[in-house]
């Protein structure tokens, strides 16, 4: 088969992996990225501050493993820090600070903390080694005709911008465009003019702001490096993920009204807020530094996106956040994005026609995309508050006990299926529902037997027997 | 107060009316329209064939009436044809063709058929008389910064396009941008980069295709001109609205699969389909003409759009389809669009700050926008099939009887409140729900009284009395 010309829009982790999959299959790959090359740049990528940390788990790892580039996964894993447990920081009813380490998986599987920029660089470096991949930075997709398979880009270099020169325009042809250009995808926007796409975006009432917790004076991690740290606060929370340089990247999540109050309050109020809700954080990030970072770093929204189809005819498909942006509370955004690339190419490999493949991809993927978006929203509630509740711990205990002792029955927690398996997300939900039903039936039976026994005892009381006889007559 | 600079995007009926409202208030108004001036053009506007007919009712009329231009409404009404009733065409169980005229309103109020292009021309003509309005055609909104209140347009003239010359770019400043640029609004797209907008678009499983029914050989209307004609067909339907030139503009609505089957079938199959489901249509549109029009005219989708907010800060607001595209089955799309302009300016008039006004507009308008979108979807089912059912007729009869005899009680049908009042759509739904509850309670009471009476009779039977006494002991 003649090589196909694949245009990948977006050179983030998902776009770079898609380019790698296509190039490995012998396609001619052209990658178009709006931003500057993140390897050259001393400025921060995206909207972010120093770095943004992600939790890499089985789905992401499997997608890297299946890329056909055997060294890639090893390269990436070198850049990660294992997180075996959640560390939940809170004050108990007596006001004492509690640090409660909750293992992620009774079989010892774990999450990995990875810097988005580092992961991206490893992938881009692999791409530069391939003769059939051409990387184009500072290329903004301005239009696409998915019937004629043509697209238009504006090329705006920094020099042009400074000199006030008008951006240059180019036209390209392609066989297939893969849009991996994030939640505000331009590919999706242009595709929506061709595909009859159902689309839904929702902002949740939550903003986030990043903070950096530096290494200690002796150059070590200030808190345990092999944990994902959570300070649940009811309607808000603070989390910290470890970096290779022994700092932590931390994030405050809170409702818009809380942010507004903190923005309008004095610096002291921010520190008081932290000391009240996130015990010991200001021991590790100085009050001055905390206030400075809160004022300097952007306060960003969270969006949930669902759409269908994910493709148009045989010429366009969207992957990752472009098709399926979710809130970050299941740590699955990037994992789902990388998985969508693996799924897309496995479907492309098994169909002779691209159009049939893309149609089949939409059928398979949209239900999983919607499932993980829903789970991520639900997990927000769990992370903010439930992780300290006794009921949550009891349920977790029962589920994990079953999971530990009954692996042959196929028992597993939803969390482990999402994080440590490659079972399609929609099936994870189905199996969890089934397990819940079994548990509830068990519980109901457990209540019914004493109820029946009690009724039997009652039926032996003479006056009750009289009433029963009369009713029967 | 100094005149504000208002940029209106879109010169359709809704945009033109918004420009008129702003100009009447002394604002400097600049209108930017993507297409050519529809007054010059001999080509068909938008995607349509010869014309697209709309049902104009009270909300649209009230918005024109309240524009401050006293001649405007009169000018528009001259271009309309009253439609007092629905004419439902169907075959009964015996196979006889029935024409069932169903009056719209027991108080004699009616719908008006109006050509979108004619309405648009009247409005544009009024605008050209005003010194503080500048009309710009073939201007494509390519970007907007709603914080700095700047926007960018590409001007592509036909000459440039033919010569392959690059479009010219301009930058403008504005105080307020009003986006009236339709379902695929560019204003909304750029606004979504600033406002945290929840947005949902859904395509329903229905396409539409326009047909034209010519005047008769003697130059008269072929079917009754003062009706909106409906041929309900279960999952599909055909409708016809009268034009001033004594033709009818007709529309076929059908599921995608029906369209696909008809597209793939021979011409004869289309005619058979019409003869089976839409009795006598091919007496008025010849089979050849029917087939030709079906092949030539576009087969277009229907989209439902809900979003919130409808504004950003004090610099941008969207009206009409841009904020609230709905399916056409309540005949309210344009009426709601024109009403949204009236509501916007009444809110602007009653607030000192534009930001407060827009915020209040979003609060008031989004719930009404969502309400009419929902009603239009529900009405699709009613129009396609219920209009021939006996149950539908009974309900209509009961409701209309109450409406006719109990006006002092505030009884009215939902249809009359939507079409012939200016009650906010959300309140229409509330009142209909309340009426339904009252009717159900009445019905339940009507059943309960005989039930109680029956139980009383039963309680006088001696054997029953014995059982009751025992139970009471």
**Three-class SS state of B384:** helix
B302 CA: distance to closest CA in chain A (Å): 9
pLDDT of amino acid B334: 96
* Class level of CATH domain B203-301: alpha beta
Contacts A–B by Cβ distance under 8 A: 31
Record: contact A184-B196, CB cut-off 8 A? no
C-alpha dist (Å) from residue B299 to A308, A375, B290 = 21, 38, 14
Averaged pLDDT for residues A276-303: 95
How far is Cα A349 from Cα A24, in angstroms, rounded to an integer?
Answer: 12
B199 to chain A: which residues are within 8 Å by CB? 199-201
pLDDT reading at A441 higher than 90: no
pLDDT reading at B49 higher than 70: no
pLDDT reading at B473 higher than 80: no
Burial of residue A29 (CB within 10 Å: 0-12, 13-18, 19+) is buried
pLDDT reading at A51 higher than 60: no
Does A308 or B469 have the greater pLDDT score? A308
- Closest residue in B to A205 (Cα–Cα): B196
B204 CA: distance to closest CA in chain A (Å): 9
**Three-class SS state of A306:** strand
Query: How large a percentage of chain A has pLDDT more than 70?
Result: 84
pLDDT reading at A366 higher than 70: yes
pLDDT of amino acid B99: 92
B92 CA: distance to closest CA in chain A (Å): 37
Mean pLDDT for chain B overall: 88
Averaged pLDDT for residues B115-133: 94
Record: contact B197-A199, CB cut-off 8 A? no
pLDDT of amino acid A44: 45
pLDDT reading at B383 higher than 90: no
CA nearest to A228, candidates A111, A56, A115, A364: A111
CA nearest to A411, candidates A436, A435, A443: A435
pLDDT reading at B222 higher than 60: yes
pLDDT of amino acid A455: 57
Record: contact A203-B197, CB cut-off 8 A? yes
Q: How far is CA B348 from the centre of its chain?
A: 24
How far is Cα B168 from Cα B269, in angstroms, rounded to an integer?
Answer: 49
The answer to whether A364 touches A347, Cβ cutoff 8 Å, is yes
pLDDT of amino acid B124: 95
Record: contact A201-B197, CB cut-off 8 A? yes
**Three-class SS state of A245:** coil
pLDDT of amino acid B407: 59
pLDDT reading at B168 higher than 90: no
Q: Which of A35-39, A53-57, A392-396, B97-101 has the lowest mean pLDDT?
A: A392-396
Record: contact A199-B201, CB cut-off 8 A? yes
- Tokens in use for B317? 């607001």
Averaged pLDDT for residues A312-336: 96
- Closest residue in A to B471 (Cα–Cα): A467
CA nearest to A230, candidates A238, A242, A222: A238
Among 3.40.50.2300, 3.50.50.60, 3.40.190.10, 3.90.600.10, what is the CATH number of B5-81+112-200+305-380? 3.50.50.60
Residue in B194, B196, B197, B469 to test binding to A, most A beta-carbons within 10 Å = B196
How far is Cα B251 from Cα B238, in angstroms, rounded to an integer?
Answer: 6
Q: What is the pLDDT of residues B23-39, one digit of tens each?
A: 999 999 999 999 988 87
pLDDT of amino acid A70: 80
How far is Cα A183 from Cα B201, in angstroms, rounded to an integer?
Answer: 16
Record: contact A301-B184, CB cut-off 8 A? no
Query: How large a percentage of chain B has pLDDT more than 90?
Result: 68
- Tokens in use for B21? 């409202």
Averaged pLDDT for residues A345-360: 97
How far is Cα B241 from Cα A225, in angstroms, rounded to an integer?
Answer: 72
pLDDT of amino acid B317: 98
pLDDT of amino acid B340: 98
Averaged pLDDT for residues A368-387: 83
* Residue A157 pLDDT class (50, 70, 90 cuts): confident
pLDDT of amino acid A306: 96
How far is Cα A198 from Cα A202, in angstroms, rounded to an integer?
Answer: 14
| Nearest-by-Cβ selection for A202 from B184, B198, B203 | B198
Record: contact A199-B198, CB cut-off 8 A? no
pLDDT of amino acid B157: 76
Element (H, E) at B81: strand B81-83
* Residue A49 pLDDT class (50, 70, 90 cuts): very low
pLDDT of amino acid A467: 56
- Tokens in use for B393? 């007729």
Averaged pLDDT for residues A445-452: 56
- Taking CB atoms within 8 Å and a gap of at least 24, the contacts of A286-290 are A290/A211
DSSP at B4: P
B202 CA: distance to closest CA in chain A (Å): 5
pLDDT reading at B470 higher than 50: yes
| Nearest-by-Cβ selection for B199 from A184, A201, A470 | A201
* Residue A433 pLDDT class (50, 70, 90 cuts): confident
| Nearest-by-Cβ selection for A198 from B196, B197, B201 | B201
pLDDT reading at A348 higher than 90: yes
CA nearest to B9, candidates B129, B262, B189: B189
pLDDT of amino acid A47: 42
pLDDT of amino acid B47: 42
CA nearest to A111, candidates A53, A192, A38: A53
Mean pLDDT comparison of A449-463, B35-49, B215-229, highest-scoring range: B215-229
The answer to whether B304 touches B324, Cβ cutoff 8 Å, is no
Record: contact A189-B184, CB cut-off 8 A? no
Domain boundaries, chain A: 5-81+112-200+305-380, 203-301, 390-460
- Closest residue in A to B199 (Cα–Cα): A201
| Nearest-by-Cβ selection for B203 from A196, A201, A470 | A196
pLDDT of amino acid B438: 75
pLDDT of amino acid A144: 97
How large is the ipTM?
0.77
Q: Which of A434-438, B20-24, B68-72, B180-184 has the lowest mean pLDDT?
A: A434-438
A189 to chain B: which residues are within 8 Å by CB? 189
| Nearest-by-Cβ selection for B196 from A200, A301, A467 | A301
- Closest residue in B to A189 (Cα–Cα): B189
Q: What is the pLDDT of residues B389-439, one digit of tens each?
A: 665 666 666 666 666 666 556 677 888 899 999 999 999 999 888 887 776
pLDDT of amino acid B388: 61
pLDDT reading at B87 higher than 90: yes
Q: What are phi and psi of B243, to 5 degrees?
A: -115, 160
- Closest residue in A to B189 (Cα–Cα): A189
How far is Cα A12 from Cα A333, in angstroms, rounded to an integer?
Answer: 13
Averaged pLDDT for residues A451-465: 61
Give the Cβ contact number of residue A115 at 10 Å: 21
A199 to chain B: which residues are within 8 Å by CB? 199-201
pLDDT of amino acid B163: 76
- Tokens in use for B331? 């005949």
Averaged pLDDT for residues B92-116: 90
A197 to chain B: which residues are within 8 Å by CB? 201, 203
């Amino acid at each position: 088969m003649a090589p196909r010309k694949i245009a990948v829009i977006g050179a983030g982790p998902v776009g770079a992996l898609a380019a790698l999959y296509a190039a490995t299959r012998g396609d001619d790959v052209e990658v178009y990225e709006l931003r500057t090359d993140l390897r050259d740049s001393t400025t921060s990528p995206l909207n972010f501050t120093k770095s943004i940390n992600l939790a890499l788990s089985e789905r992401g790892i499997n997608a890297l493993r299946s890329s056909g580039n055997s060294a890639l996964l090893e390269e990436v894993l070198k850049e990660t820090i294992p997180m075996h447990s959640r560390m939940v920081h809170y004050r108990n009813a007596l006001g004492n600070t509690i640090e409660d380490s909750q293992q992620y998986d009774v079989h010892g599987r774990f999450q990995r903390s990875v810097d988005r920029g580092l992961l991206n660089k490893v992938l881009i470096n692999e791409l530069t080694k391939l003769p059939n991949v051409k990387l184009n930075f500072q290329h903004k997709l301005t239009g696409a005709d998915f019937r004629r398979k043509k697209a238009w880009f504006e090329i705006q270099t920094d020099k042009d911008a400074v000199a006030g020169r008008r951006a240059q325009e180019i036209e390209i042809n392609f066989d297939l465009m893969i849009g991996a250009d994030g939640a505000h995808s331009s590919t999706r926007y242009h595709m929506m003019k061709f595909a009859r796409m159902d689309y839904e975006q929702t902002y949740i009432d939550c903003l986030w702001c990043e903070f950096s917790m530096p290494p200690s004076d002796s150059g070590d991690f200030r808190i345990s490096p092999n944990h994902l740290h959570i300070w649940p606060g009811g309607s808000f929370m603070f989390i910290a993920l470890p970096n290779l340089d022994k700092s932590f990247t931390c994030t405050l999540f809170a409702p818009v009204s809380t942010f507004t109050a903190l923005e309008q309050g004095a610096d002291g109020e921010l520190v008081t807020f932290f000391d009240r809700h996130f015990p010991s954080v200001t021991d590790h990030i100085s009050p001055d530094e905390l206030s400075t970072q809160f004022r300097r770093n952007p306060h960003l929204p969270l969006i949930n996106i669902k759409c269908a189809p994910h493709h148009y005819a045989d010429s366009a498909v969207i992957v990752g956040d472009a098709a399926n942006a979710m809130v970050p509370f299941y740590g699955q955004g990037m994992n789902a994005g990388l998985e969508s690339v693996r799924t897309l190419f496995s479907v492309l490999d098994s169909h002779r026609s691209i159009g049939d493949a893309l149609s089949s991809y939409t059928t398979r993927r949209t239900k999983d995309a919607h499932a993980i978006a829903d789970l991520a929203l639900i997990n927000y509630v769990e992370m903010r508050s439930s992780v300290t509740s006794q009921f949550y711990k009891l349920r977790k205990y029962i589920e994990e006990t079953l999971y530990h002792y009954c692996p042959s029955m196929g028992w597993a927690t939803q969390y482990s299926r999402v994080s440590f398996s490659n079972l399609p997300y929609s099936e994870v939900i189905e199996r969890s529902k089934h397990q819940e039903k079994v548990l509830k039936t068990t519980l109901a039976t457990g209540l019914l037997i004493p109820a029946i026994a009690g009724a039997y005892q009652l039926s032996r009381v003479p006056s009750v027997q009289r009433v029963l006889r009369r009713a029967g007559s």
